[in-house]
Structure formats: structure tokens, C-alpha cells
Amino acid sequence: MIGSRAFGYRLTTVWIPLVFFMVVTLFPFYWMAITSVKPNSELYNARLFPMIVRAPTLQHYQELLSQTAFVQWTLNTLIVAIVTTAISLVLGTMAAYPLARTNFPGAALIALSIAATYLVPQTVLFIPMADVILRMGLQNSLWAVMLTYPTFLIPFCAWLLMGYFKTVPRELEESARIDGASRFQAMLKVVLPLCIPGLLSAGIFAFTLSQNEFLYALIFLTKSAIRTVPVAAISELVRGDVFYWGQLMAAALLGSVPVALIYSFFVEHYVAGLTAGAVKG
């Protein structure tokens, strides 16, 4: 009797909510997957049940890879994401370390300013950003987005890393300084190796956000050859009032693969970094 009650309690408080949230979370990916392998005869037939596929096909993937520049869009997206992530991590670390490990006048105000900068909406900043990019002559180049994405990624990376740097005991750094290491060497050889989970979590966040960013890429990248996947899929696969749903869903599914692989490899470090950085900070 007690065992059945415990099972019922666990079923209603753990498994049913878990299954519900899992279905809600995975349903968009399931819909993308089945839509990308449906032939057009099934896609536009309202009489058929939309949740299953009767005659799966890879035609949409073949057309996406052969009739569009999807490979080039993916390469552009990866270049932008990798360069932007590297810039954001380096500058975020340079901003977070002195704020977390040293005491100087105005440190609290600077930290608050960094956090406030992250809260400014992109829709407010894109007009002055567009003017700056135009004056620098970087429009229609990948540098236009690689230099603008860090404006909203660096504040978050710095905020996350500040909280994580504070968890490292100061005694370790002081011991390295006593042994003759400079502050930069102590940071590089003592603090940063202990903060790898925080660096990974910040890097994954920066990579994901820069890969999925839409507004700046839509404004600054107007040529098809240099577009990233989110913008190119909408611009090239929607022509007038015609939506190429099969190719759109194939592009969305293939575009999510790099991020899914990164999360699957580093999910434990990502969660640990967010927990230490956000909660302890």
C-alpha cells in the first residue's frame, strides 16, 4: 500500500510533468523533422493527418543543398559565431577579472554599468550601429556583424565570469604572486584553469546567440553570398507569398545541428558554469 502511494506520488509530481515539458520542448523539432521529409503532395493536402509522414523523401534536403547556397550560408554562420565568441570571451574576461579580483574606486559602478548595457534592446541600438558600420565602409561584409555582436555578448560574458571568478579562493592567486608570478601570469595559469566551466558556459551562450541573431544580420548583410542561415533561409526560401516549407524546415533543422552538438558535449560544464556564476555571484 505504501509502495503504491509512493509510486502514485512520484508519477504525478515527477514523471507526468517531466513528460509534459519534454513533449512541449521537443514538439517544434519533431514538426521540423517531419515537415522536412514530407513530399509536397502531403505538405499541401489538408485532408491528411499532419503529425505523420506516409511517404518520406529527402527531396527538400537535396534541393536545399543543390539549388541554394546553404553550404556557404552555414560556413558564414560558423565563421561569424566562432570569431564573435572568441572576441567576446577575451574582452569579457579582461573586463570581468579586474572587477572580480581587484578593489578600486568605481568598480561597483562599472559592474552595474556592464549589466545595464546588456539590458539595452537591440532594436534601440541598430540605428546608430548602422550609421557606424556605414561610415566604416563595412556594410555587406561579415565584419559588420562580427564587430556588432560583441556589443551585447561582452556584457553578459563579463557578468557571468565576474560571478565565477569570485568563487576562486584568493589564497591561490596570492601564493602564485609570492612565488614570483605577475598578476597576468596568476590569472592565466591559476584562475582561468579553475574557471573553465564558466568560460565554457559563456562561450556556448555567445556562440548560440551569435549563430541565431537575426536583426543585425538582416540589416547589414543584404547580399545572398554573405548571409547567415537565419536571414538567408527567410530571404531566399520565401519568395513573395510562396513559402517553401520543406526547404525551410530542412534549413532550420540543419542549422540547429552545430549548437545541439556543442550542448551535448559540454552540457555538464555549461550547467555548472551557469550555477556557479549566477547563483554564487
Check residue 261 and give its pLDDT. 80
Check residue 281 and give its pLDDT. 44
Check residue 111 and give its pLDDT. 81
Report the distance separating Cα 246 and Cα 25, nearest Å: 21
Check residue 85 and give its pLDDT. 94
Report the distance separating Cα 157 and Cα 146, nearest Å: 16
Handedness of CA 20, 21, 22, 28 (dihedral sign): positive
For every one of its 281 residues, what pLDDT tens digit does the chain have, with 9 covering 90 and above?
555 777 777 777 788 888 899 889 888 888 888 988 988 888 887 777 778 888 888 999 998 998 889 999 999 999 999 999 999 999 999 988 888 887 777 777 888 888 777 777 877 888 888 888 888 888 888 999 999 999 889 988 888 888 888 888 888 888 888 888 888 888 888 888 888 888 888 888 899 889 888 888 988 888 888 999 999 888 888 877 778 888 999 998 888 888 888 777 776 665 655 555 444 44
Which stretches of 119-189 are DSSP H helices? 122-136, 142-146, 150-165, 170-178, 183-186
Check residue 273 and give its pLDDT. 52
Q: Rounded to a whole number, what is the distance in angstroms from the first to the last CA of the chain? A: 46
DSSP for residue 169:
-
